[in-house]
Amino acid sequence: MATGDQHRIKAAEFHARAQSETRPHIRVQFEALAKAHLRLAGQADLNDRVDVIDDLCREMGAMSAKSKRGFYRPQSNIILETEQRTVLSEIARGIPLAVALLALAVLAFIVFS
């Protein structure tokens, strides 16, 4: 049985206990536990899907001639380099505007003083 299904069953049990509980504060706690187990079920389903994708990536990496170890290794440094280039290009685009604003400020100072 999948982990997500186990959490859904547990959530149903807590919900049933909440319905049969006469004390309001205990009922609220059982309902909170039921909601928490439903969230856990969703997370477990997501984890299962990620595991399938991860396994597929490992298999694809093992079939690749470039892979020496036979498993998938993300290339996070490429992402960081791309992000750094993006930040630098944004700064470079902002420089002409800053220079233009400085020039206008100097001209305004000269004209109005």
User: 17 and 30 in contact (C-beta within 8 Å)?
Assistant: yes
Residues 6+ apart with CB under 8 A from 105: none
- The pTM assigned to this predicted structure is 0.50
Q: What is the pLDDT along the chain (113 residues), one digit of tens a residue?
A: 788 899 999 999 999 999 999 999 999 999 999 999 999 998 988 888 887 787 777 777 666 545 555 555 555 555 555 555 555 555 555 556 666 677 778 877 788 86
**pLDDT value at residue 32:** 94
- CA 5/CA 48 separation, integer angstroms: 12
Would you list the domain boundaries of the chain?
1-73, 75-113
